[in-house]
Amino acid sequence: MEVDSIGIASDHAGFFLKEKIKKLLAGKVEIKDYGCTNSESVDYPNFCQTLALDISKRKTQAGIAVCGTGFGMSIVANKFSGVRAYCPWDEYTCKMGRLHNDANVLCLGARTLNHDRALDLVNLWLSTSFDQSNEKHLRRLDKITQIEKQTLKSH
Ligand code: RB5
């Protein structure tokens, strides 16, 4: 994926993995941290919403969102037009989400993934490009955009 900057967000469950991901990416891409700022209990929608809104408005190019399972973050992120969030659990699913779905938000479960494995998934997500050469994938993403227009998604 060709990005200069990415946004990152977590709730309390994802806080420590978020900090590890920031260390991993330091010096490679610009990172905008959308919180949270410590491991005290918070509500994941608050932190994912600001990240997803910026991606939807194209103020941020792509994002990583970490919670206990990744599910809450992906549910919130996918409410926003232009956001394609997913929760890969291994190398294959991570790669396919980029190749076929152009997934621009990587959601990770800090309680469900080994953290070293999660860091490997971050590298794989960032280094895998959408397969633009295949017309059928472009057509399917266009259909998602049409669905977004028909429904009342934000932005
Ligand atoms: C927090 O306990 C947990 O529910 C949250 O991090 C997340 O897993 C929700 O999807």
Segment 56-82, tens digit of pLDDT: 999 999 999 999 999 999 999 999 999
Contact indicator for 9, 55 with CB cutoff of 8 Å: no
With a 6 Å cutoff on the Cβ, whether 11 touches ligand 1 is yes
What residue ranges do the domains of the chain occupy? Answer: 5-151
Active site residue 67: yes
Rounded Cα–Cα distance for residues 25 and 34 (Å): 15
**Over 90: is that where the pLDDT of 14 sits?**
yes
Q: Does domain 5-151 have CATH number 3.40.1400.10?
A: yes
Q: What is the pLDDT of residue 29?
A: 96
Q: What is the pTM of this model?
A: 0.96
Pocket test for ligand 1, best of 16, 67, 74, 108 (most atoms within 8 A of CB): 67
Q: Is cis: bond before 36, omega within 30 of 0?
A: yes
Q: For residue 153, what pLDDT band results from cuts at 50, 70 and 90?
A: low
Segment 103-136, tens digit of pLDDT: 999 999 999 999 999 999 999 999 999 999 999 9
Q: What is the pLDDT of residue 62?
A: 98
Least confident of 25-34, 35-44, 107-116, 144-153: 144-153
DSSP 9-52: EE-GGGHHHHHHHHHHHTTTSEEEE----SSS---HHHHHHHHH
Active site residue 100: yes
**CA dihedral sign of residues 67, 125, 86, 8:** positive
Q: What is the pLDDT of residue 129?
A: 98
Q: What is the pLDDT of residue 67?
A: 98
